[in-house]
């Protein structure tokens, strides 16, 4: 039997790694590092840095692999993601067949935590369902971008006793502020906060959290949203890519 470790590595700061994650990486014979595009070039660099900092066993090796790109033309969103996952599953299957021998362990270094807007777990399950390679796997948690955002802004995530909704830019209009007083927005390529027109909304925004390029801006949404838009565009032009996340909130602790 082969073994897979799906290891959460945090969101850019090598010190986000837990002791459990470091120990797990040191049990692996092979460390799989995804590469893809300009953003991924820097993210792959962070993963290499993590391996060189923390992996002390001399006999493990790094295998870099290209992640297939999602095709969107003439496909619904669900069809496009399903096809993309199938292509990644084929890539993983090849890695397991060609890079690991019986009894060996391979580790996937997953950005943030594997349970949050990440499909490594479901893709690994997809590979298992193919029944072409026998393996077991475990998941090691990591620090998410939500935790990094809350820590950088020094805020609790939720209002006292209140729920939090985690959503994407594409679906923000369904949730905040009418359904949830607190919404965390990830994967927002359209700056959906610009369409929220509520004088009582606050925003806590962060980009490149945990990395040396980290930027954070907070305030009343109506007052700071243009600043965020400008900073975001400038940073994106400067670095060639951006990852950002924000929390929108309305109301206060102990308010009914």
Ligand X SMILES: C[S@@+](CC[C@H](N)C(=O)[O-])C[C@H]1O[C@@H](n2cnc3c(N)ncnc32)[C@H](O)[C@@H]1O
Residues that bind ligand X (CB under 6 A): 11-12, 111-113, 116-118, 144-145, 186-187, 206-210, 243-245
207/228 with CB nearer ligand X: 207
Q: How far is the CB of 210 from ligand X (least distance, A)?
A: 5
Q: Is the distance from CB of 207 to CB of 242 less than 8 angstroms?
A: yes
Q: How far is the CB of 154 from ligand X (least distance, A)?
A: 16
Q: How far is the CB of 228 from ligand X (least distance, A)?
A: 13
133/241 with CB nearer ligand X: 241
Q: H or E segment at 25?
A: helix 19-25
* Main-chain dihedrals φ then ψ at residue 246, nearest 5 degrees: -150, 160
User: Between vectors from CA 174 to CA 168 and to CA 178, what angle results, nearest 5°?
Assistant: 120
Half-sphere exposure of 197 (CA within 13 A, CB side): 1
89/166 with CB nearer ligand X: 166
Residue position matching structure tokens 């802004």: 153
Pairing of strands 61-66, 182-186: unpaired
Q: How far is the CB of 141 from ligand X (least distance, A)?
A: 9
Q: How far is the CB of 117 from ligand X (least distance, A)?
A: 4
SS (H, E, C) 220-243: EHHHHHHHHHHHHHHHHHHHCCCC
Residue 90 to residue 105: CA distance in whole angstroms? 19
Q: H or E segment at 43?
A: helix 37-54
Nearest-CB residue to ligand X?
Answer: 112
Residue position matching structure tokens 């670095």: 239
70/104 with CB nearer ligand X: 70
70/94 with CB nearer ligand X: 70
Residue 183 to residue 232: CA distance in whole angstroms? 20
Q: How far is the CB of 93 from ligand X (least distance, A)?
A: 22
31/209 with CB nearer ligand X: 209
């Amino acid at each position: 039997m082969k073994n897979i470790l799906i290891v959460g590595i945090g969101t850019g700061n090598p010190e986000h790694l837990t002791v459990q994650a470091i120990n797990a990486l040191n049990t692996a014979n092979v460390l799989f590092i995804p590469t893809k595009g300009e953003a991924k070039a820097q993210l792959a660099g962070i993963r290499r840095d993590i391996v060189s900092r923390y992996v002390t066993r001399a006999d493990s090796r790094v295998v870099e692999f290209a992640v297939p790109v999602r095709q969107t033309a003439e496909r619904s969103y669900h069809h496009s993601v399903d096809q993309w996952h199938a292509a990644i599953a084929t890539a993983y299957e090849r890695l397991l067949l060609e890079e690991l021998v019986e009894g060996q362990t391979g580790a996937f270094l997953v950005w943030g935590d594997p349970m949050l807007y990440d499909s490594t777990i479901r893709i690994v399950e997809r590979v298992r369902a193919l029944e072409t390679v026998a393996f077991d796997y475990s998941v090691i948690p990591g620090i998410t971008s939500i935790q990094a955002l809350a820590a950088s802004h020094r805020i609790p995530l939720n209002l006292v006793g209140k729920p939090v909704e985690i959503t994407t830019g594409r679906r923000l209009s369904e949730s905040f502020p009418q359904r949830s007083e607190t919404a965390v927005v990830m994967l927002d390529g359209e700056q959906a906060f610009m369409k929220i027109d509520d004088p009582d909304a606050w925003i806590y925004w962060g980009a490149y959290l945990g990395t040396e390029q980290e930027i954070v801006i907070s305030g009343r949404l109506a007052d700071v949203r243009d600043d965020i838009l400008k900073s975001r565009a400038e940073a994106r032009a400067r670095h060639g890519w951006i990852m950002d996340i924000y929390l929108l909130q309305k109301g206060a602790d102990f308010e009914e």
